[in-house]
Amino acid sequence: MNLKNDLILRAARGENIERYPVWLMRQAGRILPEYRAVRGSLSGFKELVETPERAAEVTVQPVDILDVDAAIIFSDILVVPEAMGLEYQLIEKKGPWFEKTVRTEEALKSIDTDFDVEDRLGYVMEAIRIASKEIDGRVPLIGFAGAPWTIFCYMTEGQGSKTFSESRKILYTNPSLAHELLNSITEVTIRYIKAQVKAGAHMVQVFDSWAGILGKEQYAEFGLKYMERIASAINEVPVTLFAKGAYNSVVELSKMDCNTIGVDWNMQMDTIRKTVGETRTLQGNLDPCALYSSHSEVERLTNNMLDSFKSKRHIVNLGHGVYPDVDPEKVKTFIKTVKSYENHY
Ligand code: CP3
């Protein structure tokens, strides 16, 4: 299908763009009353994720309401551990919770790797097909998955955590178990991303949300190694690697076979640009909390960020996902400011 707006794909490939493209991580869901209405009509988050027609509906909402330059499929990174045999629940105000975890060889044996992703995660691919039809070429559709290290964190910890010390303990006490599990997650994730592309995803992002809790050497061994395998395996569409907090590994990330590197708000865009050069596109990085300020302040802060860009190779985003209680009107101001910016590099 011909895309009417392919700005983000051109920006990812380093081609010419007439302005910077903009979208928000976690734009599907959370902030929109229209999302909450759909979610409220079902039993909860999981039913929404597993009902392709409704998942497609909330995927398209930000395109209609916020006027972003890309849609991201509504799903969650936790569908992968579930497909591998660890069922999760989303507990209101607490977050994800897994009944079973993988901390021993015995638990590892019960983990499933050799399954057909179309069979077990077919609802995601179906949501992609339906969303593509509804978007009708207005903007590209982004597919995604969690990075192996971040998925490992949830599979071993069994829930969210500030420190993920159960997960990190295994790196010291049983590194071979860690590698076996990371390897299985990587294999499934590559097949899963390829299936999303086949279903219609125009680009993909790998979220390594917990990259920043490891030191440089451990992240190289237990994180980057597996990120690299994914990046090398996906050649069909542009790939974005978002390793939150991985300041010490930007050089290594920029050598991977990817188009775009996600930058969080703690990182200095011009420093990262100096490190990466012109060979990769950078995505980010307004502090998600900046959207709590006044409309004029959102405008000023967004313009400041755009002024700091020293290249056309940028995709505008926040430095992490948008927070649930942000006023959608502030998000609109952010997007309008990017779209009306005139001092493009
Ligand atoms: O970007 C998008 O809008 C697409 C949808 C999307 C969701 N989760 C929907 C969701 C994406 C890309 C994710 C990724 C995800 N999920 C990550 C990586 C990105 C990041 O933010 O670091 C992580 C770590 C998760 C795990 C997860 N899912 C947590 C910790 C939670 C609970 C806290 C929260 O974010 O609200 C979820 C639930 C979840 N995933 C919700 C949504 C819209 C909230 C469910 C609801 O209340 O409706």
Q: Whose CA is nearest to atom 31 of ligand 1?
A: 95
pLDDT at 343: 82
Catalytic residue among 39, 129, 138, 300: 39
pLDDT value, residue 314: 98
Q: How far apart are CA 153 and CA 96, in angstroms?
A: 12
Which residue, 302, 234, 294, 227, is CA-closest to 24? 302
pTM, entire model: 0.97
pLDDT for 30? 86
Segments making up each domain of the chain, as ranges: 7-340
What tokens were used for 221? 């061994």
One digit per residue, the tens of pLDDT, for the chain of length 345 reads 689 999 999 999 999 999 999 999 999 988 999 999 999 999 999 999 999 999 999 999 999 999 999 999 999 999 999 999 999 999 988 999 999 999 999 999 999 999 999 999 999 999 999 999 999 999 999 999 999 999 999 999 999 999 999 999 999 999 999 999 999 999 999 999 999 999 999 999 999 999 999 999 999 999 999 999 999 999 999 999 999 999 999 999 999 999 999 999 999 999 999 999 999 999 999 999 999 999 999 999 999 999 999 899 999 999 999 999 999 999 999 999 999 999 877
Of the listed 26, 36, 138, 300, which one is catalytic? Answer: 26
Sequence-distant (≥ 6) Cβ neighbours of residue 314 within 8 angstroms:
11, 20, 281, 282, 283
Tell me the backbone φ, ψ of residue 257, rounded to 5 degrees: -80, 65
pLDDT at 4: 97
Query: Would you say the CB of residue 28 lies under 6 angstroms from ligand 1?
Result: yes
Please confirm, yes or no, whether 313 is among the known catalytic residues: no
CB 100 near ligand 1, within 6 Å: no
Greatest CA span in the chain, whole angstroms?
A: 59
Region of residue 248 (phi > 0: left; psi between -120 and 50: alpha; otherwise: beta) = alpha
192 is known as an active-site residue? no
What pLDDT was estimated at residue 190?
A: 98
**Closest C-alpha to ligand 1, atom 23:** 77
Confidence (pLDDT) at 286: 98
Amino acid 344: pLDDT: 78
* Cβ 244 vs Cβ 267: under 8 Å: no
Ligand 1 center from residue 77 Cα (angstroms): 7
Q: In CATH, what class is 7-340?
A: alpha beta
